[in-house]
Every structure is written in structure tokens, then in C-alpha cells.
Amino acid sequence: MNPRWAKALESALGKERVAVDPASRLLYARDMMSGGLLEEKARHEPHLPQAVCRPASVSHIRGILAVARRHGVPVVPFGAGSGVSGGTNPVRGGIMLDLKSFTRLGPIEERGGRFYVTAESGILGQHLERDLNARGFTLGHFPSSILCATVGGYLACRSAGQLSSKYGKIEDMTDAVEVVLASGEVVPFGGRLKKFPGLRPEDVFIGSEGCLGVFTRARFRVFPLPPATLYRGLSFRRVEDALTAVRQIMQSGLRPAVVRLYDPVDSLLLKHGYKKKNRSRSRSKTGGRADWHYPLLLSRPSLVQKLVERASSEALLILGFEGDAELAREMERQALRHAATLRAKDLGPEPGQHWHDHRYSVSFKMPRLFANGCYVDTIETATTWDNLQALYDGMREALMRRVLVLAHFSHAYPEGCSIYFTVVGKCRGPEEDLKTYGEIWHDAMEVCLGLGATISHHHGIGLLKAKFLPRELGGAMPLFRDIKKGLDPWNILNPGKMGLGS
């Protein structure tokens, strides 16, 4: 049955921009959170929105919010649904606010020798980068989900791209944001919040996951395309040595664009990938036959883990340098010098080139594992260098009992580094898998919080980590709640997320 407020939406936007049919509502029920796939396998009913709206202008968004305020209906801002924390799941029903009609890109502007561009929030990352490249520029933001994530989603989740060691995370590239508040008020570029005039809107809204306002556009700093890019693969006998090398490189003032250190199990998979590169007739073309053995191996994950790690403790490091050709060569030379003091073996450019050629494909293999009797998820955390080894060891110890654990250290900075764990388990039955999945996340979050590491470097909080956020924020959580109350007293924007209650 159509909600009673559907007519009001149709008159605010036009009938063609409002969908209430069952198929549209089902399409928006879940994002890419692995737990959602497990729920689907267990045939748990998803939460459905009652309507899907596709506004094409700021006044359309204001019209939707006016209906929502009047009728007390939740509104969930929606980019492309590539989130992996349940951030768009409409747990209280309501209206999905799909922003994909917001696709305009402004001209490149120069200010004080720096370059900027204004992009609307519904542009897909890949389209933005393609259009910037055509003008000789790059945003420098390359998340693995670039093909299926929007600018608004980047901002809302504090996204990080594969070149974050050089360009930073999305918040580092953002010069200004335009946001529509729950009240319908528009905060323009350079504007201030009436309720919180001392706070910079960028600091308030970036990372707020649709709970405080709707991004309509942002101004980003962009960079001329680098004339040269060099890649290098290095092999270390132990993860510890490789981590020391990465820390030294980052703290020496060098700025590699790509830093990815794979632990022994992850290195094995990566090496397997680039060694078989030239073998023709890739098996993936045959529908993923190559994955049949995973459930077998994963019957005893800790045994498999021990055997693999006993066979090789090698850790593979991919470095990438870009910019002026001479500068890139010099940075590479100095980085290799640091690595040599830790007995690294230089593997030449091939492993790095292979990584570059496949840099978006790995994540998209996950559904194949689901189809082959396994489940898989990724847990991204970060901490300072002095705490990094403890975090790596602690997470492995907590998780390896139940699942195979792979890790890579990417997003390295002078202060610390992120660790990206991939966990793979064998399906044993839908309800049991859901229970194990919950335990894995619980244990992982406890380790992060216990060690003072962050529970999210770039995937956001959403539903998945909502109950853990108050512990991470500590004394800042009441401030976050006050900001929510001040900006959205109706509690219509994405309720039930980020530990802000229902």
C-alpha cells in the first residue's frame, strides 16, 4: 500500500522521480555489507524503504525533507550503495534519497597556484576521474570501489584511496562542502552553521554518514596528472622488517604514492597472481572454477594458516612513486636504500605493475567466494607506528581460531598506518554463519578498542560498528549527540546509525 505521504512527495518532485513499487524498494534494501549477504542466505527479511526518490535539484531535496519533517518519516541519503557497513540500510523504513542525478562538474579553477574543481555529490568516482584526466588533472582518490561509489559516499564515509600516502584521504582533498540540513536550510561553500558557528562545516559533515545533512556538492583540490609513475616490488624475510622499512620511508620525508605491504598469506596470493599472469586462458573466464577448493581448505582455517606461514614468512611490498620523472627516480632510489638495510630483495617493477593492472579487480572477486560456499569480509583499522605490531598480532590471535586471516598494510603515513584484514570462512549453515560473523566482528572491535586503535580507517561505522563508536569517541560522543540534536531535532536523517540511537 502506498504511504499516505507519497502524494506529497509526488507533488514536490514530480511523479517520475518517486518510486513506491516493490522492486525499487527491494533494490535499496541492503548495501554491500557482507553480513547482509549472509542474512539474505538465511532468508531474513530485509528492512524496506517505503519510497525511493531521485531528486534533481536542491529544491527537490528541500521538498522531500519538508514532507519527512511533517510526517516524521526517516530519510536515508543514498550514493551508489557500495558501503560495506550497512550505512544505507533503511532500518526504520522511510525514504531513500538517491543522489545520482547530481552529476555536474565545474571548470578547473586556479587559486594561489593550486587547482580546484566543484563536483556534485552523485558523480561516480570513475566518471569524475575520467573527466578530470581529460582536462589533464587527477583527484588522486582511487578507492577499490571507484567504479561504484559516489562523491557524496566518499565524503560521508571519510573514504581512502589507494594513493592516500601521497594525496591523503577524501577530507584532505576537500576545500568546501555544500550541505542541505534536515530543516531544509542550505549551508553553502564557506557558510557557517547558525547553531554551531564555531565549528567548520567540513569538520562536522565529513564522516557523518548521512546522519547530519545531505551533501549536494563539494570543492576539491585537484592535481596536474603526474608525468611519470614508477612501481617496484620488494620482498622481505619477515613482516616486522618490512614494517620498519615502511616506517623509515614515510618518516624520512619521502612521499611514495603507493605503499602496500602484504603479509605472508596475502603475499602468496599476490605472487600467485602475477606469476600466472601470462598463463593464457584465465580460469576466471570459466565462471570461477578456480575457487572450488576454498571450502575444503577452510574446514581447518588455523591449520591451513600455520602451514602456509611455515612454508613462507615472506612479505611483499609494493611501492609506487609519481611526479616529475627525475624526482620519482630519486625517491625510488632512496626508498630502495632504506629497504636494503633491512635485507629486502628487489623484485623489479613487475609486481608493482601487476598490482596496478589489477588494482580494482580483487575486491570484486568476493561474491565468487560466497557462491562457492564461503563467506568473506574486510576489517580496516589503523593506529600509530608504536602500536602497529601489537594490533596486527592481537587481531590475528583473536580471529584465526574461526577464519583464515590475510592482511595488508596500506595507507601508510608518517604517524602510523592502516591494516586491512580480509577474513575468509567456510559456510556451515546460514544461522551458524551469522552467529560466527557477529562473533568475528565483536572480537575484532574489542581488540581495536582495547589497544586504542580506530575501529574504522575508511569504511565508516554504519550499522555494523554502531554500538562500538561511543567507546571509541569517549568524551566526544555527547558532543556528537548534541550536534545531531541541534541539526536534526526531528531525527529524520538516517536514524539508527552511528550509535546515535533510534
Ligand X SMILES: Cc1cc2nc3c(=O)[nH]c(=O)nc-3n(C[C@H](O)[C@H](O)[C@H](O)COP(=O)(O)OP(=O)(O)OC[C@H]3O[C@@H](n4cnc5c(N)ncnc54)[C@H](O)[C@@H]3O)c2cc1C
By CB under 6 A, name the binding residues for ligand X: 31-32, 76-84, 87-88, 99, 121, 143-145, 149-150, 152-154, 156-157, 159-160, 209-210, 214-215, 363-364, 458-460, 494
* Cα–Cα distance list, 52 to 4, 18, 155, 203, 460 (Å): 14, 6, 22, 29, 23
Residue whose CB is less far from ligand X, 79 or 233: 79
d(CA 105, CA 434): 42
Min dist CB 111 to ligand X, Å, is: 25
Which single residue brings its beta carbon nearest to ligand X?
153
Residue whose CB is less far from ligand X, 245 or 424: 424
Min dist CB 334 to ligand X, Å, is: 27
Min dist CB 375 to ligand X, Å, is: 15
Q: Report H helices in 312-468.
A: 325-340, 350-357, 366-371, 385-399, 430-451
Cell of 95: 525514504
Min dist CB 412 to ligand X, Å, is: 15
Residue whose CB is less far from ligand X, 229 or 422: 422
Residue whose CB is less far from ligand X, 8 or 80: 80
**Three-state secondary structure readout of 208-242:** CCCCCCEEEEEEEEEEECCCEEEEEEEEECCHHHH
Residue whose CB is less far from ligand X, 211 or 344: 211
d(CA 179, CA 449): 32
Min dist CB 296 to ligand X, Å, is: 25
Burial class (CB in 10 A: 0-12, 13-18, 19+), 241: middle
The answer to whether residues 372 and 417 touch, using CB atoms and an 8 Å cutoff, is no
Residue whose CB is less far from ligand X, 170 or 399: 170
Alpha carbon 502 to its chain's center:
24
Min dist CB 81 to ligand X, Å, is: 5
Cell of 431: 544461522
- One DSSP character per residue, 32-70 reads S-HHHHHHHHTTPPPP--SEEE---SHHHHHHHHHHHHH
Neighbours of 77 (CB within 10 A): 26
Min dist CB 213 to ligand X, Å, is: 7
Residue whose CB is less far from ligand X, 77 or 394: 77
Phi and psi of 39, rounded to 5°?
A: -65, -40
Residue whose CB is less far from ligand X, 75 or 328: 75
Cell of 271: 605472487
Q: Is 255 left (phi over 0), alpha (psi -120 to 50) or beta?
A: beta
Residue whose CB is less far from ligand X, 160 or 246: 160
Min dist CB 58 to ligand X, Å, is: 12
Min dist CB 235 to ligand X, Å, is: 24
